[in-house]
Amino acid sequence: MAKIIINQDKCKGCFLCVNFCPKGLIKKSVKLNKQGLNFVEFSPKAGDSTDCIGCMQCAVICPDCCSEVYK
Ligand code: SF4
Ligand code: SF4
């Protein structure tokens, strides 16, 4: 059971991680961060927090190192 933590104020909303997560667990937020940008949120499916496989694709692909993966 892995999870990620995203630094939302650092996120520039490029959505690379949204496209690269093989499980579709990262979603665009409707809210804005301190930079005035739509950040992304970790959104495990309701009732199934084991979906994240800890593959680290989201962390590797992020150009600003916003994501940390915890296994
Ligand atoms: S570690 Fe892998 S499965 Fe988990 S949120 Fe990141 S890309 Fe998705
Ligand atoms: S790849 Fe990084 S900067 Fe881009 S949306 Fe994801 S967390 Fe934000």
Using one digit for the tens of pLDDT, what is the confidence trace for 13-43?
Answer: 999 999 999 999 999 999 999 999 999 999 9
Model confidence, pTM:
0.92
Interatomic CA distance for residues 29 and 27, integer angstroms: 6
25, 60, 67: which to mutate for ligand 1, most atoms within 8 A of CB? 25
Ligand 2 close to Cβ of residue 42 (< 6 A): no
4, 6, 12, 33: which to mutate for ligand 2, most atoms within 8 A of CB? 12
**Is the domain defined by 3-70 classed in CATH 3.90.1860.10?**
no
What residues does each domain of the chain span?
3-70
Q: At 49, is the pLDDT very low, low, confident or very high (cuts 50, 70, 90)?
A: low
Ligand 2 close to Cβ of residue 14 (< 6 A): yes
Signed CA dihedral, 28, 58, 49, 9: sign only: negative
